[in-house]
Structure 1
């Protein structure tokens, strides 16, 4: 056991597409996948746009018994995990159950399932809920269901740090590998698109109510008006390097450093996050990776789209990198913000960028807002050092940063 953790499989189920290849084409092409909410009627809400996974059929990834017990959020995790395992060349059921673990992030849980059951409780004559209400909404439901379905019996767990969780799950996967578990399923999916979930997000005052999909979600832009919700995310096979090499696995990259801090401040109408704590998370990630700020090819930021938060994120990046600030690129305006699912999706973007030897241009801003002056990547560019930092913040003060080093690119005739 080397203690080094590499990514050998990527499973994407997101507004950008189903599968890593579809996601990469969306990002590379700058194709906007935001549109009207269809999972329920949003007519009575000021926010009516979101990023949904179009064309998703859960029956292709789990059987009817599993689907009736679980929420759409878990259905997306079933699909992303199946895709990640296939991409890694690993079996869907482990021959060594205790050598495989599941560590995913969770944010809003199974709110579509919970809403349906509570409506039945208070709106129907039976005044009852179904037998699976007690487990389908629970934030650990996806981890439990995947562990059972794939027979992964290693040390499993769930990370709950809102949007930062998608990075925290990968950091925990590295710890599990260093403690002796050779394969860990990590990442996260999300489905915050129900009347209840949307009402909760609206109460935070950070959602955009702009009706034009082209202008509704514009992080770091002078016209920023808030974020748009999204579903989906990404799941990864994180593997101990020696284990991966012994079976001839394809390696996307190595997870080399991470940092997590907390503001200890409740998210409110006047808060904007603590740039000092956010910058400290970035420095911790760089220090643990053993690299200097000038070695980072690109930063994929949290990009909330609320100007006061965007300004503190820009301030944190300036503090952490000084005068050696790397290019910044975000694809969230194309897909919406899927909370911890988006952080995991950003990791997939970074790994695919190195695989294809192309750093994708940022999807905005068009007019950089005052206080958000960063080196936004305006055109596709070849990477130099093959190092990326992914940053994420969660409501109520979570800050996380992850540093990864991409493997050598593949030739076009080698890529599948």
Structure 2
């Protein structure tokens, strides 16, 4: 069966803009979490965020696109440029019909939408931009990326909160297997406006703590919830044979995937994360003993953390596999989080080192996890498992391994 491999990565994260700066900051344990600066959040119960403060759109996006795009789309366009450059894909490498796009989204263009709704309310409909018709939409990143790079192959968008980032990468692999040689895939989020902020607060799982070092601490006693973040990653996914023929550098293979959905609590049933893990391992034809690290979802919520820890322990045994949550340095980036974790996993395979979970003193003993904390941990790479869960019951699991 056709293999799908990752040949290029573009990252925009609160602790690093670009793949190199992000990875170096992650290994150093350098956090991008701090007080909200984009707007006055002092009136809200949650005031911390992972915010990208060194992105100047005009340096990365053509001027004509600035009025048409929300911040999330500008970040996605920049990351797609970086990913293609990293993969050494240039115009002419593939025909335009041989390239597609599959991204994920959770919030859409909240900042753009709030600005235009304010204009409508305060000044009237004639003051609303015509670009509002698409700039807020979930699928806009896929559309703008495909237009920007002339990608006329299969394109789409997945909406599954955190899990959507894995679903998009799985769709990229699916399209590779159907005959599309290259798919740009991943997710990017930026909903840092009052409109987006109150929507997150309404979910009831954001940390209300005001100390960046103490706010987002998954798998610890007294975990208080999560800190949101903006950013994400765009990856170049290619047919392995085509990538090999053009001499591309390969980070790793997307080897296995599975997704499940939890019923609402009122309907009963058991959480489906374990089944997603087992399904991804089966899809990859990989034994649990072959997994050398798990990049956990790390919700930072006691009940959700317990479900994830129980799923990991059930499959791998108590403390049976190293686990890490590098997003403690960035905050949870909704649909952008799993693509960033995927980038971390691929770099961990390349550099033979597991990035740590920062800011965690000790794991609550009831979780039975071997959580990598403090400093990066050397490892002999086997395969890596990336987990993600989205609000509403979405679960997704992705197996990555070195390409043969």
TM-score interval, smaller chain = over 0.9
Partner in structure 2 of residue 288 of structure 1: 283
Contact 2:260–2:272 at 8 Å: present in 1 too? yes
Contact 2:214 2:359 in 1 (8 A): no
Q: 1 CA distance for matches of 2:148 and 2:251?
A: 26
- Residues in 2 aligned to 1:98 and 1:274: alpha-carbon distance in whole angstroms: 44
Q: Which residue of 2 aligns with 1:386?
A: 382
Q: Which moved more, 1:278-287 or 1:362-371?
A: 362-371
2:363 aligns with one of 365, 368, 374: 368
SS of equivalent residue, structure 2 residue 115: helix
User: Which residue matches 1:310?
Assistant: 305
Matched with 1:141 is 140
Query: How far off its partner does 1:264 sit?
Result: 2.4
Matched position secondary structure for 2:255: strand
Instruction: Provide the rounded CA distance (Å) in 2 between the counterparts of 1:300 and 1:389.
Output: 6
Give the Å deviation of 1:371: 3.2
1:106: which partner in 2?
Answer: 105
Q: 1:40 to 1:321 in 2, by over 3 A?
A: same
User: What SS class does the counterpart of residue 389 from structure 1 fall into?
Assistant: strand
Residue 29 of structure 2 is aligned to residue 38 of structure 1: no
Aligned pairs (5 A) from 1:199-278: 199-265=198-264, 276-278=271-273
Q: Distance in 1 between matches of 2:92 and 2:68?
A: 20
Q: 2:391 aligns with which of 383, 389, 395?
A: 395
Aligned residue pairs, count: 403
Q: Which residue of 1 aligns with 2:401?
A: 405
Residue range with higher mean Cα deviation, 166-175 or 84-93: 84-93
- The match for 1:353 is 348
Separation in structure 2 between the aligned mates of residue 48 and residue 177 of structure 1, nearest angstrom? 42
1:148 offset after TM fit, Å?
A: 0.8
| Maintained 8 Å contact 1:103/1:156 | yes
Tell me how far 1:368 sits from its aligned partner.
Answer: 2.1
User: Whole-Å Cα distance in 2 between the matches of residues 274 and 146 of structure 1?
Assistant: 40
The range that moved more, 360-369 or 285-294, is 360-369
- Secondary structure (helix, strand or coil) at the match of 1:328 reads strand
CA contact (8 A) 1:193 1:229 kept: no
Aligned-residue Cα RMSD (Å) equals 1.9
Output the TM-score relative to the length of structure 2: 0.96
How many Å apart are 1:366 and its aligned residue? 1.7
1:238-259 alpha-carbon deviations (Å, 9 max, x no partner)? 0000110011000000000011
Give the whole-Å Cα distance in 2 for the aligned partners of 1:116 and 1:134: 13
* Native 8 Å contact 2:319 2:370 kept in 1: no
Aligned to 1:412: none
Q: What is the TM-score when the length of structure 1 is the normalising length? A: 0.93
Q: Which residue of 2 aligns with 1:195?
A: 194
Q: Is the Cα–Cα contact under 8 Å of residues 219 and 305 in structure 1 kept in the other structure?
A: yes
Does structure 2 retain, via aligned residues, the 8 Å contact 1:261–1:398? yes
Query: Alignment partner of 1:188: what SS?
Result: strand
Gapped regions of structure 1 (runs ≥ 5): 409-416
8 Å CA contact 1:229, 1:337 repeated in 2: yes
Residues 93 and 150 of structure 1 are in contact (CA less than 8 Å); yes or no, is this contact kept in structure 2? Answer: no
